[in-house]
């Protein structure tokens, strides 16, 4: 009998070309599908609630697949992990209705971007943060974040757009917090456009360094010109 499974996965994306399958390139999806094949003997196509760019990490990405395997739910965690490389892990597994669509039924998505505010590099954090020299004005960055909240056309913050696709998104929360020398931008939305988060962070850093006024940041949304925001920050953060 066919069932549908959901996996919650975590990974370090440094050596992968994003989540989605790509010909002759290592991706997270290809690794999970290979592990599932070794565990169940089936060729299962894995779907994700959202995709990630090359080099982006994930703490709780949701993926699903169909299976006829009689293995109990708990075996999928240990079994898939056994065959996965060390930089990808399944954290939990659930059985859901066969009609469940992991993309359409996602209520929201959340990204966080880590900025190392330091004049010196950090070898321990280089793979998980983007270093910015100079002090960032967190208050000004949060004033700019207020303009992001709500339903807006975010075309100015996107790149690699698909023709005919809507660029309107609803942002539920956007904020910047500082933890010693680490500045973290967090954003929750119904979904995101390609590179939207990384372009947003690029513009926010300019605000934080007083290279852009908050009003100028707000005008980026209003002007609705593709690629106006940025620069696009590295995926490592």
Q: Where are the beta strands (DSSP E) in the chain?
A: 3-11, 47-48, 58-67, 88-96, 109-117, 130-132, 150-153, 168-179, 182-189
Q: Angle 115-226-16 (CA atoms, 0-180°, nearest 5)?
A: 50
Question: For residues 136 and 140, what is the distance between their CA atoms, to the nearest angstrom?
Answer: 9
Residue 103 predicted with pLDDT over 90: yes
pLDDT band at 100 (very low <50, low <70, confident <90, very high): very high
**Bridge partner residues of 9 (DSSP):** 61, 90
Which pLDDT tens digit goes with each residue over 142-192? 999 999 999 999 999 998 777 778 999 999 999 999 999 999 999 999 999
Predicted confidence at residue 42, as pLDDT, reads 95
Handedness of CA 189, 195, 199, 205 (dihedral sign): positive
Average model confidence (pLDDT) for the chain?
95
Question: What is the pTM for the complete model shown?
Answer: 0.92
Q: What is the share, in percent, of the chain residues with pLDDT greater than 70? A: 100
Contact 63, 35 (CB under 8 A): no
- For the annotated catalytic residues, the residue numbers are 53
Residue 227 predicted with pLDDT over 90: no
Residue 35 structure tokens = 């592990």
Which pLDDT tens digit goes with each residue over 110-128? 999 999 999 999 999 999 9
């Amino acid at each position: 009998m066919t069932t549908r499974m959901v996996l919650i996965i975590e990974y370090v994306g440094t050596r992968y070309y994003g989540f989605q399958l790509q010909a002759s390139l290592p991706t997270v999806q290809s690794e999970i599908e290979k592990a599932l094949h070794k565990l169940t003997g089936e060729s299962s196509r894995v779907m994700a609630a959202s995709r990630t760019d090359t080099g982006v990490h994930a703490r709780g990405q949701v993926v699903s697949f169909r299976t006829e395997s009689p293995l109990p739910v708990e075996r999928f965690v240990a079994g898939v992990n056994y065959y996965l490389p060390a930089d990808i892990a399944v954290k939990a597994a659930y059985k859901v209705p066969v009609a469940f669509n992991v993309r359409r039924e996602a209520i929201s998505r959340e990204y966080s971007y880590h900025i190392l505010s330091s004049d010196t590099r950090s070898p321990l954090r280089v793979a998980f943060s983007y270093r910015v020299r100079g002090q960032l004005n967190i208050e000004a960055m949060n004033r700019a974040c207020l303009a992001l909240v709500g339903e807006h056309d975010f075309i100015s913050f996107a790149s690699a757009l698909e023709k005919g696709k809507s660029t309107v998104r609803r942002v539920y929360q956007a904020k910047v917090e500082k933890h010693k020398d680490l500045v973290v931008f967090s954003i929750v939305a119904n979904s995101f456009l390609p590179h939207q988060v990384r372009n947003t962070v690029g513009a926010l850093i300019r605000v934080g360094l007083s290279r852009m006024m908050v009003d100028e940041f707000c005008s980026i949304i209003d002007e609705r010109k593709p690629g106006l925001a940025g620069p696009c920050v590295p995926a490592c953060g």
